[in-house]
Amino acid sequence: MFRIAEAGPDAAGVRGGHDRVRAADLDVSRDGRPVYRLEVRPRALADFTAGAWWHSTSPASHFTRSLVCSRITGDGGRITLAGRRLTVTAPDGTRRVREAGTDEEALELYRERFGIALDEVPALRGGGGSGGPGTGQ
């Protein structure tokens, strides 16, 4: 069960949203443990540079250890191809998952679901995990 509550001060003692009558940071918890914080403070695009760099370069990042192609659907759902695993998430959060069994099927998914025409199935540089069946990616 999720719980959403007005957030207290962050580690630096700053309380977000204090200058707004109807807006405040929110903490989202699940089973009594904090999951994430929704902050209302404005951000500049440059504030995300370090995080984007880490996600694109760190060996600990999911994005450098597996192949992921994802997009929002017209109805507000999402389609994700992670390795050969296709996940279709409906707007209500329900998910259908299936594996592409062959290279041809994977290439068809890239083409039909994402509009990406490829000559061969992408592979990770440096021989990392494939994100395919049995890898946990």
Coil, strand or helix at 22: coil
With residue 103 as reference, give the H or E element that holds it.
Answer: helix 103-114
- Can you list the positions of beta strands (E) in the chain? 2-6, 26-30, 33-38, 68-72, 78-82, 85-89, 95-99
Structure tokens at 75: 């109805």
Q: 11 vs 7, 14, 136, CA distance in Å?
A: 12, 7, 34
In this prediction the pTM is 0.60
- At 122, which amino acid appears? P
* Contacting residues for 134 by C-beta, under 8 A, at least 6 apart: none
Q: Is 6 exposed, middle or buried (0-12, 13-18, 19+ CB in 10 A)?
A: exposed
Q: Tens of pLDDT along the chain (137 residues)?
A: 556 566 666 665 655 555 554 567 788 888 888 888 888 778 889 999 999 999 999 999 988 888 999 999 999 999 999 999 999 999 998 999 999 999 999 999 999 999 999 999 998 876 544 444 333 33
